[in-house]
Amino acid sequence: MTAPDPPTVAALVALLERWFAPAWAEPWDRVGLVVGDPAAPVTRVLLAVDCVPETVAEAIDVGAQLMICHHPLLLRGVSSVAATTYKGRIVHQLIRESVALFAAHTNADAACPGVSDALAGLLGLLDLRPLRPLAGDRTRGAGRIGRLPEQMSLTEFSHQVARVLPATSWGVRVSGDPDRLVTTVAVCGGAGDSYLADALEAGVDAYLTADLRHHPASEFICEGGPALLDAAHWATERPWFDPLAASLREAAGVETIISDLDTDPWTARIPSGGAGPAKESCP
């Protein structure tokens, strides 16, 4: 009995676009197949949050024929992919090494299950629903709201978040009363300050996301919003690849490798105020 032929790039793209429909992406986003021959066979896939020189090198080193990345390589319009920029060099390298590149970004954020479902799953949240649903859809949309199995203080919850997220130099920043009780939680993988008003309206006890800016967070606190937990962007999106890799293995029979290279741009955290210890919001 001969082994079945491996799936092609086109077959895997079709599968991924069933799970993460391009129509769910934000209008400004650029998702789908970026580089690659649709007819090329695929036996090994590398999954990574970012398509950067280090993860491309990793894909080549492990012999992957397809990279699936969360963040698009060519998000903004370009008029050239000459190898005079790092993005141009990546395009040339991927083509030369016969590695296809596929991006699932805000369509994967909105999917169910998607990026924020994986983040919610790390925390054990129950009864999930979208933080901001897609129009006419009660299951898909940005972020997730759920409840903890057991109520805990913000201090306890913050340390739980820090334990389950991948380690980064950014860590987890916290705003709120350490003794505040937390039962309902909103989460959003990646930059989530555009959903602060949704978290406030939902009446959750805490909101976990990334890339919170000073003024939106300050105004949110003054409005009496829930506690805020701000983690590294990369750390809130990396968990998505564990269930995605399992689904690809089961549905397509391909080998999957998840990149654990920390591609968060911040590489060190040095406490301010002299040589004193770093201040914790929730000691």
pLDDT digits (tens, 9 = 90+) for 156-188: 999 999 999 999 999 999 999 999 999 999 999
**Is residue 122 a contact partner of residue 239, using CB atoms and an 8 Å limit?**
yes
Q: What Å distances lie between residue 64 and 32, 51, 177, CA to CA?
A: 18, 14, 47
Mean pLDDT in the chain?
94
CATH of domain 112-233: 3.40.1390.30
Q: How confident is the model at residue 79, as a pLDDT?
A: 87
d(CA 283, CA 143): 27
pLDDT above 70: residue 274: no
Query: Which residues, other chains included, contact 25 with Cβ-Cβ below 8 Å and sequence gap of 6+?
Result: 31, 105, 106, 107, 110
d(CA 265, CA 257): 22
Phi, psi of 161 (to 5 degrees): -60, -45
CATH 3.40.1390.30 domain residues, the chain? 9-107, 112-233
Which amino acid, residue 115? V
> Which pairs from 246-249 meet CB under 8 Å and 24+ separation?
247/19, 248/12, 248/15, 248/45
> Which tokens is 98 given?
């016969």
**Three-class DSSP category at 199:** helix
Helix axis angle for 241-252 and 115-122, nearest 10°, is 120
- Which CATH number applies to 9-107: 1.20.1530.20, 3.20.20.370, 3.20.20.140, 3.40.1390.30? 3.40.1390.30
> Which tokens is 141 given?
């949309």
**Is residue 160 a contact partner of residue 152, using CB atoms and an 8 Å limit?**
yes
Mean pLDDT is lowest, of 20-34, 68-82, 264-278, for 264-278
Sheet of strand 255-258: strand arrangement: 32-35, 100-103, 66-69, 44-48, 255-258
**Is residue 134 a contact partner of residue 24, using CB atoms and an 8 Å limit?**
yes
pLDDT above 50: residue 81: yes
Task: Write down the H helix ranges in 97-237.
Answer: 106-110, 115-122, 154-164, 196-202, 214-222, 233-237
Instruction: Convert the pLDDT of each residue in 189-233 to its tens digit.
Output: 999 999 999 999 999 999 999 999 999 999 998 988 999 999 999
pLDDT above 80: residue 283: no
**Is residue 163 a contact partner of residue 229, using CB atoms and an 8 Å limit?**
no
Instruction: Convert the pLDDT of each residue in 103-141 to its tens digit.
Output: 999 999 999 999 999 999 999 999 999 999 999 899 999
Q: How confident is the model at residue 280, as a pLDDT?
A: 47
The residue length of the chain stands at 283
Longest Cα–Cα distance in the chain: 70
Helix axis angle for 86-96 and 53-61, nearest 10°, is 10
What pTM value is reported for the model?
0.93
